[in-house]
Amino acid sequence: MKALNNILAKAAADPRRIVLAEGGDPRVIEAAARASAQGLARITLLGGPEVDIAALARELGHDLTGVEIRYPHALAASEEYAGALFELRRHKGLTLADARELARQPLPHANLMVRLGDADGVVAGALHTTAEVVRNAIQIIGMQPSFDLVSSFFLMMLCQPFHTLKGGVIFADCGLVVDPDERQLAQIALAAADSAASLLMEAPRVAMLSFSTSGSARHAAVDKVANAANRVRALRPDLVIDGDVQLDAAIVAEIANQKVGDSQVKGNANVLIFPNLDAGNIGYKLAERVGGALAIGPLLQGLKRPANDLSRGCAANDIVNVIAVTVVQAQALTGGG
């Protein structure tokens, strides 16, 4: 899997501090041990009073040498974090007492570590819901200045001998924004193009997917996609993009030649933008379950610093991959790599 191996190699070349908010979970402990041993990241594990992380790791046979273990409920630093959180959210009615309570909980504490520069990225979701992970990231880490929308993407790895479309492909948005309007769809496309540049390490080639190609059908849903593509072109005229375009014309050169006379992507898309969450969620699961692709994600984009979600059914290997992706995202946002 060349695309994934490139991400792992890039992470190992310039590892960053990644905090895992669910350090009492056996899968997270295993992933922390493996990521640290492989040199992918400098890992901090957060835990609560109910689990002795070091003892559990020994029981499970995992070596946490080099992994920092923190218990926010017992840390003096949590008071500083509480003050920062209070100043950040007091205009929303958060009291200092509430801020103190939150700063001693692993998930808010992890995001505060990133906000205050004590970590470069956060990974959570093995135990927390997507809503909890995203809410904490938006409220504490905040948005990139050029975006007012957090969206998600899956990094799909198509590396099996039977795959005709080879390598890594970005699928967005497959997990977060239910029914984006044309402005939001354009933001998703721009963020996904940036994600492709940093993670695939190649120029993004964006396909704005629809049931229409170049106006072959007339419908408000088609207009939304076509207008979003035009917004992207206006904001970033150097970006290679087709839209509205059907999936086959986005990924098969012969069909693109037949259907899209002025195609820029030419049937070689590495970023697929779905018109809504129905299409995106169905699309990535078809690619994974029927097409045999490896799905990494859901990953978040549009934040000031990286925060990524995990499926609650994830395995340790999934977490290791997301840790590596989070490191590479941190490199792209802060320089290096």
The tens digit of pLDDT for each residue in 179-221 reads 999 999 999 999 999 999 999 999 999 999 998 887 788 898 9
Tell me the backbone φ, ψ of residue 77, rounded to 5 degrees.
-65, -20
H helix intervals, the chain: 2-13, 26-37, 53-60, 77-89, 96-103, 106-115, 130-136, 182-199, 220-235, 247-251, 253-259, 277-289, 316-334
2-142+303-334 — its CATH code? 3.40.50.10950
Coil, strand, or helix at residue 199? helix
d(CA 247, CA 237): 23
Question: Span 263-267, mean pLDDT?
Answer: 90
pLDDT at position 163 = 67
Question: Span 133-151, mean pLDDT?
Answer: 92
Quick check: 337 pLDDT over 60? no
Question: Span 23-43, mean pLDDT?
Answer: 97
Question: Span 293-299, mean pLDDT?
Answer: 89
Confidence of residue 247 (pLDDT cuts 50, 70, 90): very high
**Which residues in the chain are classed under CATH 3.40.50.10950?**
2-142+303-334
* Token reading at 166: 């080879």
What pTM, to 2 d.p., does this model score?
0.91
pLDDT at position 68 = 96
d(CA 71, CA 90): 25
Percent share of the chain, pLDDT over 70: 98
Question: Span 35-61, mean pLDDT?
Answer: 95
**Which residues in the chain are classed under CATH 3.40.50.10750?**
151-289
Residue of 116 and 313 predicted with greater confidence: 116
Mean pLDDT score across all residues of the chain: 92
Question: Span 219-230, mean pLDDT?
Answer: 94
Percent share of the chain, pLDDT over 90: 77
Task: Please check whether the domain covering 151-289 is classified as CATH 3.40.50.10750.
Answer: yes
d(CA 125, CA 286): 22
